[in-house]
Amino acid sequence: MIFNKIYLVIFMFLVVGCVDKTPITGRSQVVFISAEQERALGESSYREFLKNAKLSRDAAQSARIKKIGDKIAQAAQRPDFEWEFNLIEDKQINAFCLPGGKVVVYTGILAITKNDDQLATVISHEIAHAIARHGAERMSHQQISSGLQTLGNVLISVTAPEYKNIFNTAYGYGTHLGVMLPYSRSHEYEADAIGIYLMKQAGYDINEAVKFWENMKQAKSKTQVEFFSTHPNDDNRIKKISELVEEIGKK
């Protein structure tokens, strides 16, 4: 009975998972959720979000978001996405793109983006997360983490049941700092790379990507410690983006 459970966990990893490659960067990834399921989740979450969100009444800025978004969406070449771009009245310095192409920009980030090229940096970065399926990949990694913990519990229950609580505490802490957070940072770096490529394809000045992230650094009250963060340290990010801009600019 115990070994049946072990085989079930192993079967889940070997059969259910789907190996895919991210666009532009070509990185191999394992995703358990189908693209159709992911888009359905994105659509549902987006409609639920809009119920409580306050759409901006600034027609000019809303049109600006849509114009820039449409150009980047065209560069992304995802005809299966139903693109939407909305400007939300909110002081948060933030933006996001849900699976299926539902893009939201908060008015708070407009003060940081000094021109259309810098705003394109934001939108292309968020679109990159969606087309690279980072959300689905992260959910899949959490499923793997949970499955491995289940497997560990089964083995410990047989061999050393007195250590079960210690194992769960250590495993939870270790995977959080050792896997989940660093993987989120790698997604951010990849979205930067894909986003800058999309910017160039859409005709925007990729040099403004560096300036935007410099603006973001200045807007923060203090520099974060990268090891305990889901986002890269500002200086590390700016350095990598500068290198990306130089590399992509030569192509």
Question: Which pLDDT score, from 0 to 100, does residue 180 have?
Answer: 42
Question: Within a domain: residue 24?
Answer: yes
- Cα separation, 83 vs 127, whole angstroms: 10
Single out the residue of 52, 130, 137 nearest to residue 90, CA to CA.
52
Count of the separate structural domains present in the chain: 1
Question: Within a domain: residue 28?
Answer: yes
Hey, what are 236's tokens? 């590390």
Question: In the 3-class helix/strand/coil scheme, how is the chain assigned residue by residue?
Answer: CHHHHHHHHHHHHHHHCEEEECCCCCCEEEECCCHHHHHHHHHHHHHHHHHHCCECCCHHHHHHHHHHHHHHHHHHCCCCCCCEEEEECCCCCCEEEECCCEEEEEHHHHHCCCCHHHHHHHHHHHHHHHHCCHHHHHHHHHHHHHHHHHHHHHHHHHHCHHHHHHHHHHHHHHHHHHHHHHHHHHHHHHHHHHHHHHHHHHCCCCHHHHHHHHHHHHHCCCCCCHHHCCCCCHHHHHHHHHHHHHHHHCC
Single out the residue of 194, 240, 234, 204 nearest to residue 216, CA to CA.
234
Strand 102-106 with 84-88, pairing: parallel
Hey, what are 197's tokens? 């490529």
The domain of 20 spans 2-46+115-249
pLDDT tens, position by position, for the chain (251 residues)?
444 444 444 444 444 456 688 999 999 988 887 889 888 888 988 999 999 999 999 999 999 999 999 999 999 999 999 999 999 999 999 999 989 999 999 999 999 999 999 999 999 999 999 999 988 888 766 665 554 445 444 444 555 555 445 434 443 444 444 444 445 889 999 999 999 999 999 999 999 999 999 999 998 865 555 555 677 889 999 999 999 999 988 87
Question: Which pLDDT score, from 0 to 100, does residue 37 have?
Answer: 86
Question: Within a domain: residue 161?
Answer: yes
Question: Within a domain: residue 25?
Answer: yes
Question: Which pLDDT score, from 0 to 100, does residue 178 have?
Answer: 47
Question: Within a domain: residue 172?
Answer: yes
- Please count the other Cβ atoms lying within 10 Å of the Cβ belonging to residue 186: 13
Question: Which pLDDT score, from 0 to 100, does residue 223 have?
Answer: 54
Question: Which pLDDT score, from 0 to 100, does residue 31 have?
Answer: 83
Question: Which pLDDT score, from 0 to 100, does residue 141 have?
Answer: 61
- Cα separation, 153 vs 179, whole angstroms: 19
Question: Within a domain: residue 54?
Answer: no
Specify whether the CB–CB gap between 135 and 38 falls below 8 A: yes
Question: Which pLDDT score, from 0 to 100, does residue 42 have?
Answer: 87
Question: Which pLDDT score, from 0 to 100, does residue 207 have?
Answer: 97
Question: Which pLDDT score, from 0 to 100, does residue 145 have?
Answer: 56
Question: Within a domain: residue 95?
Answer: no
Question: Within a domain: residue 180?
Answer: yes
